[in-house]
Structure 1
Amino acid sequence: MSATFTVRLQRPGADPVQFEAPTGLPVLLAAERAGLAMESSCRNGTCRSCICLMEAGSVAYHIAWPGLSLDEKREGWILPCVAYPTADLALALPL
């Protein structure tokens, strides 16, 4: 049985929204299942169109190296198309 986490998503100029994300589903797919549209294109961690800032929480990647630099990862940037939640998340979409 997989755990389910709460994701709080802050969009520029809008009220934050919340949705549930199970550990076995990338954050982007969990958002879509909840009826929320997020920018995306490749869905494999290379195009970076879905990039978000993780303000709280943690994620895991099931690919060797998502399309983020080490500095971006340290700053909290994630790629929701390939990021799997491992805790409740607070995410912010860039301007």
Structure 2
Amino acid sequence: MEENPDPRQVMLLPSGLQFEATEGESVLQAALRQHIIMPSSCRNGTCRACMCRKQSGEVRYLIDWPGLSPDEKAEGWILPCVATPLTALELQVPLAKPKSPA
């Protein structure tokens, strides 16, 4: 019997939008899957369009060297396009919004 991945709760501030990300799924992929739009462009950790500040929680990167400096990482900045949550997360993403119905 296959086990279900353990979902991680993600809250976006100041909007209060919430969604779950599964292990190995990037924060951006999880948001898009659940019809939440976050700023993004390249989706591979280089352009920094999705850069946001982590208020709480821990992430692991899906690539070896995301486009953040050590100082930025120490200040809590993450790249949600290549970050997967290890715990529940609270992120400052002022431009996040629900996807409009088609």
TM normalised by structure 2 equals 0.85
The gaps in structure 1 that reach 5 residues or longer are none
Task: Provide the residue aligned with 2:83 in structure 1.
Answer: 83
SS state at 1:63 partner: coil
- Opposite residue 41 of structure 1, the aligned amino acid is S
Query: RMSD over aligned Cα, in angstroms?
Result: 1.3
Which digits, 9 at most, give the CA deviation of each residue in 1:57-85, with x for residues without a partner? Answer: 00001211100000000011000000011
Q: 4+ runs of 1 displaced by more than 6 Å?
A: none
Bigger CA radius of gyration:
2
Task: Provide the residue aligned with 2:11 in structure 1.
Answer: 8
The gaps in structure 2 that reach 5 residues or longer are 96-102
Task: Provide the residue aligned with 1:21 in structure 2.
Answer: 21
SS state at 1:67 partner: coil
TM normalised by structure 1 equals 0.91
Please give the alpha-carbon distance, in whole angstroms, between the structure 2 residues aligned to 1:23 and 1:10.
22
Please give the alpha-carbon distance, in whole angstroms, between the structure 1 residues aligned to 2:62 and 2:25.
11
| Sequence identity (%) | 54
Please give the alpha-carbon distance, in whole angstroms, between the structure 2 residues aligned to 1:62 and 1:83.
6
